[in-house]
Amino acid sequence: MKAFDRLVAASLPAVPRLVVRKIADRYIAGETLEDAVATVRGLNALGAMATVDVLGEFISRPEEAEETATQYERALDAIAAGQLDANVSVKLSALGIEIDRALVDRTLARVLRSAGRHRIFVRIDMEHSGLIDETLDVYRGLRGAGHDDVGIVIQSYMRRAEADVAALADLTPSVRLVKGIYLEPEDIAYQAMPEINASYLRLLEQLVEQGSYVAIATHDPALLDGALNLIDRRGLGRDRYEFQMLLGVAEEARRKLIADGHRLRVYVPYGRAWYAYSVRRLKENPSIAGYVARDVVRTIVPGMR
């Protein structure tokens, strides 16, 4: 099964865009804000919350960062106008942090002003290891300036993650806990899945102990079981955590969590930059590439499992 996943992921650059789009459609809302709004409305009807993400982290010009900020302002206006149960997630690379710090400060401030006007939460995504220190610095600066409705992401495959969580303890941050998908060297990141999963559960325990609100972002059955065991063992209230999943992935697990009364949020990416996002994400996470590809095949070949 893993060999199939890796084959699908490795083949993506040679695959026609139309086919990549077919594979990616399960977990991308579409190219337009209207697509995202319709997707969020459908998720809300099923009892799920949403996080909206404007695709476009691969930028090289300041105008692109400003345009990304404009797209987020429009998305926030649409969430408020539609009374949707959704927040937004931003990548600092899409807002210009790899171009100029002053640029990202300006574009992020625009997003936060719009979010503050609508009282909508903003999550700052964590990216590759070269941006971790600067991302944490931006986050700490925002919290110091009184932006309490802003969260951060911690990646369990990073060897530094426990130290980063400890360093943020004074802020009692809202944290999305993920495994991590960027390709990193062994001295920076754990490579073996058992190590990554063990780190994930340690970090989850650490965050709960420190009083953080935790977004448990995983589709891994073992991690879901571990998280549910912790929730039961700690008697954790529903105001202390939520589960998060990608659009179109592990839908049966998603339905069960919602049916059992857990808060669950679905990641809803959209935008014209869907192709670069799709190829990169699917290559970096072969299990998702294989999962979606198998699902596409099942729609063509009835009875396939």
Strands of 108-182 (E only): list them: 122-124, 150-155, 175-178
Element (H, E) at 167: helix 161-167
Q: Exactly one of 123, 143, 176, 254 is catalytic; which is it? A: 176
SS3 for 55? coil
Q: Name 178's bridge partners.
A: 155
Q: What letter does residue 169 receive in the DSSP assignment? A: G
| CA proximity to 29, closest of 43, 16, 47 | 43
Residue 290 near residue 9 (C-beta atoms within 8 A) = yes
Q: Exactly one of 53, 125, 263, 281 is catalytic; which is it? A: 125
> Is 295 among the catalytic positions?
no
d(CA 86, CA 179): 23
> Is 125 among the catalytic positions?
yes
How many residues are there in the chain?
Answer: 305
Instruction: Give catalytic residues, as residue numbers.
Output: 125, 176
